[in-house]
A and B are shown apart, each in its own frame.
Chain A
Amino acid sequence: MDANNLFSVEWTYLRPEMIVLGGAVLLALLDLLAGRRLPRQLFGWLALVSVVLAGAAIWQNIQTVGQPIGFMADMLRIDSFGNAFKLLFVSGVAFTFLLSFSHLQRDAIPHHGEYSYLLLIGLLGAMVMASSADLITMFVGLELLSLSSYILVGIRKHRLASNESAFKYVVSGGIASAFTLFGMSYLYGLSGTTNLHEMTSRIGQAANSGFGAMVLISFVFLVAGLTFKIAAAPNHMWAPDVYQGAPTPVTAYLAVVSKAAGFALIVRLVLLAYGGVLTEQGQSLLLTELSGYLSIIAGLTMMIGNLMALRQVHLKRLMAYSGIAHAGYLLIPFVSLTQLSFEQVIFYLLAYLVGTFGLFAAIETISRDQRTEELKGFAGLYHRAPVLAVAVTILVVSLAGLPVTAGFFGKFYLLMSALANGRYWLTAIMLATSTISFFYYFGFIRQMYMRSGETEASVKIPAGAAFIIGVAALATLLGGLFPGLPSEFIHQHFNSGFDLGGIMKPGE
């Protein structure tokens, strides 16, 4: 169903992207022409509307798309893989806007016009990353997301911390992009194409005709560059500083949307580009040597994230390390590829999304209330806002991976696939580091229930944050009691036409 020219393209399937792009353009024009005269919340609401509309359009695509549809020689590819990730991005960005309203109101974020459309552009970048099957569009999507994030991090330009983190983010992000691009150039040089589906067999041939070392070099550079987006070792160092300096909604956005987009890109790129490379025994190199490298990264990431998180007292830094640890867990289905890896990644990301966003909403509420972004702000919360404290308890228990929450089943699935593939030491690291994580996640519980805060006054929770926390806690519990529901949903709607290289074809 490939379209050869722009006129035979079935544009209807690109509605989600078009809506987001249109929303961003509209907001930019509005801001330019009438920025000062309009109520500041208007931008947020307009952006939220376009995000919701895009979500509806994605939903419609999910219902109607059977086989993958490629546009312009797979420059963009509408398939269930992309759709699943796009739904995650859209819900993440919608949460971000909900969380931002109180921020916008207080004027904590200046330039509300830019803020809103940059978030939309970042979302567009993420969507392109998830649905492109071509190096060029992949990189364009990556840069769209990155560049808009750099500005978002530094949007409070009169604050030193915000500037510092934006600067760090730009510099380390630039280096990571260079690494990625360098790796991509090897891929292009070896295969002579930027199309990932053509690349699969050509890279395989190249590896067998004496260019094996080159293939490995490209892999190492690509992965080294891409670990930046997902904040995994060795490119995780930026996360704590950047998270700390960015406005809380942007931090949550980086921790969830940006990270998930990185995963979408890595999954498709690595599976398609290297899926065709076989060892002498006829096994896929992805299942043998390359997964060895990936498992080292996964193990290191889990250990660094969880160990460093132990010593954090600043909430956002804590969440940064927690996010690093989760990136490590999320690499496990990659290391132990099975037919279910995709479902596992999506399920885990879903659990991570609700857990992290809910917790960030709570952090935002507390740090506004207590004027501190440190863990001790949570002290005595149970006496001040019991419902909020119970909701936060559910969320941290889920992030720690204890039953009966969605996070438990996320980890359960990962463990299952790792054990089924005989990845024993990785499993051991995962279990050991998860146990370590109890410590810092229960730090919230210790503060909320066992310490007394400075005041006993009840906490005022903004409506947006309350909504997010409520939805997140409820979803976390439901996901833990009936984990079959999301799994089945993911499978029913996303598994058809799931074609990522030779390894993961259905029915094998």
Chain B
Amino acid sequence: MVNNTLLSLITFSPLLVIVVLMFTPKQMVGTIKTIGVLGTLLPLIMSLMLFAGFDYSAGLQFIERRDWIKIPIGLDQNGSLTFFPIRYEMGIDGASMPLLLLTAIIGTLAAVGSWQMKRRLREYFILYHLLLIGMFGVFSAQNLFLFFLFFELTLIPVYFLLGIWGYAERERAANKFLLYNGIGSAILLLAFIAIFVQLQTVNFGELQQVLTNPDDPLSGYLSPEYRYGLFVALFIAFGIKLPIFPFHSWMLNVHVQAPPPVVMIHSAILLKMGAYGLLRIGINFFPDQAYEFSVWLAVFGLINIFYGAVLATVQKDLKMVLAYSSISHMGMVLLGFAAMNSIGFQGAIFQLVSHGLISALLFFIVGVIWDRTGTSTITELGGIAKSMPFISGVFLAGALASLGLPGMSGFISEFLALMGLFGAMPLHAAIGAIGLIFTTIYVLRAVLRAVYGPTPSRLTRLADAQPMEAIPLVVLLGVIILIGIYPAVLSDPLQKTLDSIVPVVTGIGG
């Protein structure tokens, strides 16, 4: 088979930018910014090429396989070492392609949003591009090992970005981030090695084949209890990233302390890695166990929805409102997974993409407001619509998208997730639908209070959006509306892939 290198080019193109930046003198601030921002166009353009060339009727595509590492696993009869080859395997399918494209878009827009950064710009952009490599890699990796490496690769840059460029309590937030995600990664590694040791393969396709086909000779190696244990381990590991209710506190700190572009990346992409992992590795490989566990998925989803929503209504800081809103929206993803059917999964992935776009938009605006006013406390704001009509308008539109206004991406994703769940667990779905009302309350409370109302005198002369700020706003809002009115742009590529997961699930569950 001919190797397609496009995914590798996308993934490692930021490396080129890193090398160029390393040789740029750090006094040349303008040049560094320009390289840092324009550099993100490389993966974006290639991702768009990939999107254009994506074959809707095929499953896994853009495949690349190369020999890479040989792991010694034992000795043969002659006493020579037998190796297990771990290949460098990249590929993409309908579930990962939208997320890869999302990463490329947000990657560019958050870089544009980094235009305002002031300190240590060269290091900032080097780390930023390192983070991009990790994120692209996670969505293109086709085996557990590579997935884990890229997953871990995102950890170190975020630690730095948070710890150096964050707000006042940045180091505490960075440590907490490291601790929680370190535990998550440790559990993930444990589960991966357990799978590898038992089944002697790490390739996604082979694993799915072995684990979901009862006739496969290797399938008997794992007892149902063992599988259940693995699934729960994966659920916890990815649940920390997602984040699921008891493991969420690190994420609040990150959202409040990180600089705005990093928060954009974090809430738009990094949280999604948890959900993507849960689907790709957890549910895809252990459908029976996921089905058994699906009630719990729904319960955790509901807890997330209500916990996030209730707490979001009492927050004073816009960032905290958005952070809790993220928790609430991630609950909707869990509901979609819990449905265990095609519509539910579709809703979950729609929600991932949609929330990625919306939260990036909202956090970007909060960053802009902070830049102008030096505050993100709701009660200190108010009436900024008079001086910043454009930004305020987009802010309101983003808020409406977030609460699920029809015609925007938020609506279609929540609608699909709940519809899927109605088929499986009507009661849970009905409760989940009530959560949407809370969303309306907290979103409107926060945004209307901040944007409209009487204008305090010190907020009367704020500048509206600069061109560099307008680009991300327009692009994000445009994509949100595009998905809202023409969801086929997302659902068409998804269909084929979901078909390959879903029959396995429903075939057993009935």
Residues of A within 8 A of B (CB): 338-340, 343, 397, 402-404, 412-413, 415-416, 419-420, 427-428, 431-432, 434-435, 438-439, 442, 445-446, 449-450, 482-484, 487-488, 491, 495-496, 506-508
Which of B89-97, B101-109, B159-167, B369-377 contacts the other chain? B159-167
Q: Which residues in B have some Cβ–Cβ distance to A below 8 Å?
A: 69-81, 83, 148-149, 152-153, 155-156, 159-160, 163-164, 170-171, 174-175, 178-179, 182-183, 186-187, 189-190, 193-194, 196-197
CA distance A68 to B494 in the complex (A): 61
- The distance in angstroms between the C-alpha atoms of A484 and B75, with both chains bound, is 15
Tell me whether chain B's interface is mostly helix, strand or loop, or mixed. Answer: helix
Instruction: Specify which of B69, B174, B197 is in contact with A484 (CB 8 Å cutoff).
Output: B69
Identify 17 new A-B residue pairs, CB closer than 8 A, beyond the known A397-B156, A412-B189.
A415-B189, A416-B73, A419-B197, A432-B183, A435-B182, A435-B183, A438-B179, A445-B159, A449-B164, A482-B69, A484-B69, A484-B71, A487-B72, A495-B81, A496-B79, A507-B76, A507-B78
CB–CB A506/B190 < 8 A? no
**Are A403 and B190 touching (Cβ within 8 A)?**
no
**Complex Cα gap A431–B194 (Å):** 13
For A418, the closest partner residue in chain B by CB is B193
Give me 20 A-to-B residue pairs in the complex whose CB atoms sit less than 8 angstroms apart, sorted by A's number.
A338-B74, A339-B75, A340-B75, A412-B189, A415-B189, A416-B193, A428-B190, A431-B187, A431-B189, A432-B183, A434-B186, A438-B179, A438-B182, A450-B163, A450-B170, A484-B69, A484-B71, A487-B70, A491-B72, A507-B76
- Which residues of the other chain, A, contact B76 by a CB distance below 8 angstroms? 507
CB contacts (< 8 Å) of A404 on chain B: these are 149, 153
State the CA gap A439–B183 with chains docked (Å).
12
Closest to A492 in B: B81
Given A415-B189, A483-B69, A495-B79, verify A420-B197 contact (CB < 8 Å).
yes
B163 x A506 contact (CB < 8 A): no
Pair A403/B69 contact, Cβ less than 8 Å: no
Contact of B152 among A402, A427, A442, A508 (CB under 8 A): A402
Docked CA distance A435–B240 (Å): 14
Smallest CB–CB gap between A422 and chain B, Å? 10
Cβ–Cβ contact B194 & A419, under 8 A: yes
Residue of A403, A416, A445, A496 with most partner-chain B CB within 10 A: A403
Interchain CB contact under 8 A, A484 and B83: yes
Contact A507–B79 (Cβ < 8 Å): yes
Partner of A439, one of B73, B170, B178, B193: B178
Q: Is B156 a contact of A412 with CB atoms below 8 Å?
A: no
What's the Cα separation between A338 and B196 when bound, in Å?
A: 16
Contacts of B163 in A (CB 8 A): 446, 449-450
In the complex, chain A residues whose CB is within 8 Å of the CB of B72 = 340, 343, 413, 487-488, 491
Q: Output the nearest chain B residue to A432 by Cβ-Cβ distance.
A: B186
CB of A435 within 8 A of CB of B179, answer yes
Q: What residues of chain B lie closer than 8 Å to A339, measured between beta carbons?
A: 74-75
A415 touching B190, Cβ below 8 Å: yes
- Cβ contact within 8 Å between A506 and B79: yes
Taking a contact as CB atoms closer than 8 A, the residue among A403, A415, A416, A420 that contacts B149 in the complex is A403
Q: Note all chain B residues with C-beta closer than 8 A to A416.
A: 71, 73, 193, 196-197
Q: What A residues does B175 contact at CB under 8 A?
A: 439, 442
Q: How far is the CB of A250 from chain B (nearest CB, A)?
A: 33
In the bound complex, what is the Cα–Cα distance between A233 and B211 (angstroms)?
A: 41
**Contact between B155 and A402 (Cβ–Cβ < 8 Å)?**
yes
In the complex, which residues of chain B have a beta carbon less than 8 angstroms from the beta carbon of A438? 178-179, 182
Q: How far is the CA of A305 from the CA of B78 in the complex (A)?
A: 40
Q: How far is the CA of A484 from the CA of B88 in the complex (A)?
A: 14
Using Cβ atoms and an 8 Å threshold, which residues of chain B touch A403?
148-149, 152-153
In the complex with contacts A403-B148, A450-B163, A442-B178 CB distance below 8 A: yes
B183 CB contacts on chain A under 8 angstroms? 432, 435
Q: List chain B residues, Cβ under 8 A from A491.
A: 72, 80-81
Complex Cα distance A310/B244, Å?
28
Chain A residues contacting B78 (CB-CB under 8 Å) are: 507
Task: Report A-chain residues with C-beta under 8 Å of the C-beta of B159.
Answer: 442, 445
CA distance A450 to B73 in the complex (A): 41
Q: How far is the CB of A265 from chain B (nearest CB, A)?
A: 24
